[in-house]
Amino acid sequence: MNFVLKEVTDKMKRAQVKVINENGIHLRLAGELVKNSNKFKSDILIEKNSEQINGKSILSVASLGAEYGSELTIIVNGQDENQALDSLVKLFESGFSEGEK
């Protein structure tokens, strides 16, 4: 499912992340990612193998097929883009706190 909010330009903030969760981005993690993305006003795209999806759509994120080891690019654009990008990168780096109690 391809969904492009806007044409991606060089001015958009980007970060490369890697899925470190053993079971990839399963439905619960997709929900966390979308919940986190929706805290921000910026447009958020997630790219995998040149496919871009809306980072604020549970259906799009769940259908991305981000397995363990997948390399993704987070692309953000908007008034709170720095905060959004930092927050999402930390979420991936923490492994979505999976395994923490």
Beta-sheet strand order (sheet of 51-54):
13-18, 71-77, 43-48, 51-54
Are 44 and 55 in contact, with CB atoms under 8 Å apart? yes
Residue among 3, 5, 20, 26 flagged as catalytic: 26
Per the structure block, which two tokens stand in for 78? 């908007």
Helix, coil or strand: residue 33: helix
Are 52 and 3 in contact, with CB atoms under 8 Å apart? yes
Whether 69 is catalytic is no
Positions marked active-site: 26
